[in-house]
Amino acid sequence: MALRRAADGAAEMLAGGSGTGMTHAWLFTGPPGSGREAAARAFAAALFCPDQGCGHCDMCHQVAIGSHPDLEVVRTEGLSYGIKETRQLILRAAGAPTLGRWRVVLFEGADRMPERASNALLKAIEEPPPKTVWLLCTPSPADLVITIRSRCRVVTLVTPPTAAVAHALVTRDNIPPDMAEFVARATQGHLERARRLALDPEMRARREAVLSIPRSLTGVGECVIAAERLVDTAKKEADAVSSALDEGETNELRKIYGEGSSGKGLNKGLIRGGAGAIKDLEKLQKSRATRTQRDVIDAALLDLVAFYRDVLAMQFGAPVELANEDRRADLESLTRSSTPEDTLRRIDAIMRCRERLAANVNPQMAVEAMTISLHRPQL
């Protein structure tokens, strides 16, 4: 509904003639699973499409597959989107449209901009080129500095209900209904994560390992072991993802700079100049690997938060759907052996761990502190 209202508002502005009334900065917010990026992409298609987003024309198809020349999608693969990249992005965004009346920049990880990058973007949003539209995506408006969000029109999205996610998995991905309902509930309505959980047995095994942590924390030694296993698993998964990407990127860059080529016309200086480019690429790849490891740990922490949220709901007798119904025995055991205050302190410990990881604290130390707090919440 929020997206429809935004699209209707944009259509009214576009219908005004020159388009001078168009809002040039939009902020798409919502919790994980709400579809911020998908909504922003659909909105971009509505701006390009003659019928405000029919979903069938060439313009809509180009946006869907990422080939539209007037749409630039920014994905933050590293720890942050730096000032240098932001300035280059602003210069590209200032160019004139190629096909239509708008040039659109869809920034998927706008909350990962540091302060200097945010200040640079603020200047571009304060005085935007007449044909440039910025679509920023963040979990919450508070993730951006107030000076930026005050200049954006906010589109607030919500997580779809479990039944809707399960229906989409059954009809679009041919996932069995029982599995679809289980993963939709387990991921609390996060469609993409639910799809991966349904299709990837290894991901389901990792989830089981994470949700077995509360039961395993019988002493300090067990807390240290649990933390080590969680961090080690995240590192292995990040390494697997990174190695698959890194090799292809490095080989492609070496080819661009002429490595392995021969001939009189070969520019030897170009080969030598490739060393700096490869060094920059390796720095980016290292940052991406660190980001991936943190994202894997963060996903595990969110699973733990959902587990203790279920415990808290049972302690208060709240009539809500449990995300971890498949682990009811563990939930009931903790419900009987702890108080709501203990559960809240445990949730706070997990959230502190997330904050520490975001502040670049050593993952092993941050997770160990968390597991000890889960074992003894009153410390």
Chain segment 133-175, per-residue pLDDT in tens: 999 999 888 888 999 989 999 999 988 899 999 999 999 999 9
pLDDT of residue 248: 75
For 123-141, write each residue's pLDDT tens digit.
888 888 888 999 999 988 8
Residue 270's pLDDT is what? 46
Q: Is the pLDDT of residue 287 over 90?
A: no
Query: 162 has which bridge partners?
Result: none
The mean per-residue pLDDT over the stretch 53-64 comes to 88
**Stretch 301-323: mean pLDDT:** 95
pLDDT at 17: 42
pLDDT band at 9 (very low <50, low <70, confident <90, very high): low
Mean pLDDT, residues 45-61: 87
Per the model's pLDDT, the better-predicted residue between 51 and 288 turns out to be: 51
d(CA 223, CA 213): 9
Q: What is the pLDDT of residue 77?
A: 67
| Range with top average pLDDT, 56-60, 287-291, 326-330 | 326-330
Reading phi first (left if > 0) and then psi (alpha if -120 to 50, else beta), residue 111 is in alpha
According to DSSP, the β-strands at 25-29 and 132-138 are: parallel
Tokens linked to 177 = 């209904």
Query: What is the C-alpha separation between 132 and 100, in angstroms, rounded?
Result: 11
What does the pLDDT average to over 12-36? 71
* Confidence at residue 242, expressed as pLDDT on a 0 to 100 scale: 76
Q: Is the pTM of this model over 0.95?
A: no
pLDDT of residue 18: 40
Tallying the residues shown for the chain, one arrives at 379
Q: What is the structure's pLDDT at 21?
A: 60
Residue 51: pLDDT band by 50, 70, 90 thresholds? Answer: confident
- Between 239 and 218, the higher pLDDT residue: 218
**Residue 104 and residue 88: Cα distance in Å, rounded?**
15
- Residue pair 349/304 in contact by the 8 Å Cβ criterion: no
Per-residue confidence (pLDDT) for residue 225, from 0 to 100: 95
Tally of CB atoms within 10 A around 35: 22
| Region 185-198 average pLDDT | 91
Question: What angle is formed at CA 373 by the lines to CA 223 and CA 326, rounded to 5 degrees?
Answer: 75
Angle in degrees, CA 172, 209, 241, rounded to 5: 60
The confidence score (pLDDT) of residue 84 equals 86
Average pLDDT across the chain, whole number:
85
pLDDT of residue 346: 97
Region 60-84 average pLDDT = 84
pLDDT value at residue 177: 95
Cβ-based burial of 227 (10 A; exposed 0-12, middle 13-18, buried ≥19): buried
pLDDT band, residue 264 (cuts 50/70/90): low
Only one residue has tokens 């640079």, namely 120
- Does residue 263 register a pLDDT over 70? no
pLDDT attached to residue 20: 47
